[in-house]
Amino acid sequence: MIPKYDPFYNQLGIFVKLIFSQEFVDKLCTFLTKPKILVAGKVRILENSYGVELYDCGGFEVPLTPGEFSFELQGFKNISSYFPSVSRFSFYHSVILEWKDLPVNSQGQCNYIRPNVCEKLWNDMLLADCTIVSSDRIESKCHRSVLAVHSDVLHKMLTSGLSESQTNRIEMDDMSQEGVTILLAYMYGRDLQLEKLTTEVAFQLLRATHKYNVSNFEAILVNLICRKPSEWFSIDNLLAIYFFSVNVSEHQMLSQKMLSTMKMKPEELRTSPVYQAMLENNPRAAADLTLKILKQK
């Protein structure tokens, strides 16, 4: 801080001199984005008749580059008229470092920008260490840790000495590439447009989430399928989903939905090759299914 008196204007000015070495700038720029220096000042004046008062002298901003900088605190001029009666004064200043990723205001308050780690992992597949192979033999890269967080079954597969833990490859033979992509998108926290799912892919996902115990996503899929209109299902879809869900205690609402929807499609059920094969190969199961359908209100 350098005080300078201007006799022509009878004013006292305060100049701030900053010197940044190349080494200092290089070290900061290694860790910070677009760093800059903020300097602000206040002066405390003891007037002979009015006591002590504190005045804001303003401040300035300096890009953090090597070199020497000198700036005048312009606000100091506005109080220079007090100096004839001043017995003494003291000057206070603050130096604030600010950078792009973590802005700091003049009160020292920080606005933390939370990085979206899952988004970065999903978009760039940084250090991906696992591969899922779909039924159509398409490989999808992913991270073992992300799979393990969402599924205790996958966690055991990848850590218990099974072949998957040796090869870091998981064969999902009952999942299409579309199904695998949606399953992974859920695990990485991406936005999903589940209302646009086809019946086939929705059923693939339902089986997979049950098999691998991705319970939260499984509950979402059950709710989704239960809300679908009858036109969304073919009779083969209804039969497949019914025989899957009827033996899962958490899916009883879903199995009832399939039965009531089949009751609305009697002709399609009668001519279904799946139902005809059931009548021929397992007539007792076919009769049991028919009775359950007839009992639906």
Mark which of 212, 240, 275 sits at the end of a domain. 212
Task: Decide: 237 and 200 in contact? Cβ < 8 Å.
Answer: yes
Q: Assign 200 a pLDDT band (cuts: 50, 70, 90).
A: very high
Asked whether residue 120 is domain-assigned, the answer is yes
Q: How many distinct structural domains can be found in the chain?
A: 3
Identity of the amino acid at 266:
P
Out of 179, 212, 245, pick the residue that ends a domain.
Answer: 212
pLDDT at 138 over 60: yes
Mean pLDDT, to the nearest integer, of 250-277? 94
Is the same domain home to 130 and 92?
Answer: no
Report residue 43's pLDDT band, with 50, 70 and 90 as the boundaries.
low
- Average pLDDT (22-34) is 74
Residue 239 and residue 264 in one domain: yes
Kindly state whether residue 105 falls inside one of the protein's structural domains: no
153 Cα distance to chain centroid: 24
**Average pLDDT of the residues in 178-200:** 95
Task: Say whether pLDDT at 226 is over 60.
Answer: yes
Structure confidence at residue 181 (pLDDT): 97
Q: What is the pTM of this model?
A: 0.62
pLDDT digits (tens, 9 = 90+) for 13-27: 777 777 888 888 777
Mean model confidence pLDDT for the chain: 83
Are 15 and 56 found together in one domain?
yes
Is residue 218 assigned to a domain? no
Average pLDDT estimate for 218-234: 94
Higher pLDDT, 68 or 212: 212
122 and 188 in a common domain: yes
User: For position 169, which CATH number holds?
Assistant: 3.30.710.10
Is 250 in the same domain as 292? yes
Segment 267-291 mean pLDDT: 93
In sequence order, the 6+-apart residues with CB closer than 8 A to the CB of 226 are 253, 254, 257
pLDDT, mean of residues 204-211: 97
**What is the C-alpha to C-alpha distance for residues 77 and 59, in angstroms, rounded to an integer?**
13
In the predicted model, what is the mean pLDDT of residues 260-275? 94
Residue 219 domain-assigned (yes or no): no
pLDDT tens digits, 68-105: 877 776 666 655 555 555 556 666 677 777 766 554 45
If pLDDT is split at 50, 70 and 90, which confidence band does 53 have? low
Q: For every residue of 127-186, which 3-state class applies, written as one string? A: CCCEEEECCCCCEEEECHHHHHHHCHHHHHHHHCCCHHHHHCEEECCCCCHHHHHHHHHH
> Lowest mean pLDDT: which of 31-40, 119-128, 213-222?
31-40
Average pLDDT value for residue range 16-41: 76
Q: Which residue has the higher pLDDT, 94 or 265?
A: 265
Among the listed ranges 119-123, 140-144, 166-170, 228-232, which one has the minimum average pLDDT value? 119-123
Mean local confidence (pLDDT), 133-155: 96
| pLDDT, position 133 | 97
CA dist., res. 135 & res. 133, Å (int): 7
Residue 175: domain span: 115-192+201-212
Domain boundary among the residues 212, 247, 277 is at 212
Q: In what order do the strands lie in the sheet with 130-133?
A: 139-142, 130-133, 169-171
In a domain, 220, yes or no: no
